Amino acid sequence: MFIWAIISTVIAITLLIALAHYRSQIRKNCQQLEVMQSHTTNQRLTAEVPYKEINEMVSRMNDICNKYQEEKIAIERNENNLKEAIANLSHDIRTPLTSLDGYVQLLVMTDSQEEKEHYLQIISNRISSLKELLEELFTYTKMQDQSYELSVVPMDGRQCICETVLSFYEDFETRGLTPEVTFCEEDLPIVANEVALCRVVQNLVKNALVHGQKRLGMTLEKQDGKLHFTCFNDKKPGEVIEVDQIFDRFYKGDKARTSTSTGLGLAIAKGLIERMNGTITAEVKDEVFVIEFLLPLSEKAVSEKERNVEKDH
């Protein structure tokens, strides 16, 4: 009996010591949590007892704390970006409106028919610019709705892209640019939304025109069963392009605000391409900025040209 009493006493003391360790560890972790809750700190919970369960609990709680901190930083960054974006958008919209007001006053004051026509043309251009800004905002807002879907149909991707690039002929002429264009001769049948594909190509070419210098080009080819389109332009001297942010909403490499755009063009392009089951990427190669997208080819798609031939027969 005496031996059992000793054993029982030893067990009881051991359990009491273990319980004391548990309680001490929990109190310490509670104090650490209180500090972490009331202060911005990188402090994490620590475990000073050799118990697997305690160590595992502390590790998991630290994982939760790390995730919470990452989300908090992301929220703060998004809030700052949103504030900056609102300020930039206000500037982008206010600038053409202020300009319009000035030219309207000049139009009213002048008696010269030639000057009237000149001011009317400028006013028309400013209105078009403002409409384009608002259209980009509207399109981007629509794409934030996860239920928003594009209606897709069989089409010839090559024909759509060629026609879109050709629509920029006057822009190339005005800037004295001869784009480097290398397009394949074969049809590229895809299942896509023609308006969306046109919009994507427009946004990429516009971006190249705004940010390019003397070199600008596009390529179109069939690559591994996909339509592969590339748009590239040389960088402006000293221009810093943050490739990892290039498709972010409201991103502008033009920190001086010398270009009148919302900074949504590439974000819209990315959203539209992904909704057509494609991928889009950007990179800088030897001082040349390159954007490319891939869309899956479809053997079932029939080009407009082929459909017209069938009708003729």
pLDDT at res. 308 = 47
pLDDT at res. 262 = 61
Q: 222 burial class (0-12, 13-18, 19+ CB within 10 angstroms)? A: middle
Nearest to 103 by CA among 128, 125, 120: 120
pLDDT at res. 295 = 97
Q: Which two tokens stand for residue 173?
A: 């002429």
Residue type, 50: P
Phi-psi region of 29 (alpha: psi -120 to 50; beta: other; left: phi over 0): alpha
Task: Answer yes or no: CATH 1.10.287.130 is held by domain 81-143.
Answer: yes
pLDDT at res. 79 = 82
* Average pLDDT, consecutive stretches of 10 residues, N- to C-terminus, the chain (313 residues): 74 73 76 77 77 81 86 84 72 76 88 89 84 79 78 94 93 89 94 94 91 89 95 83 76 51 80 94 90 88 46 47
Which strand (E) or helix (H) includes residue 307? helix 304-312
CB 313 within 8 A of CB 240: no
Nearest to 168 by CA among 207, 130, 129, 119: 207
Query: Residue ranges of the domains in the chain?
Result: 2-72, 81-143, 153-296
Q: Which two tokens stand for residue 99?
A: 């300009």
pLDDT at res. 258 = 45
Rounded Cα–Cα distance for residues 85 and 248 (Å): 11
pLDDT at res. 243 = 80
Rounded Cα–Cα distance for residues 161 and 219 (Å): 10
Rounded Cα–Cα distance for residues 199 and 269 (Å): 7
Which fold does the domain 153-296 belong to in CATH?
Answer: Heat Shock Protein 90 (3.30.565)
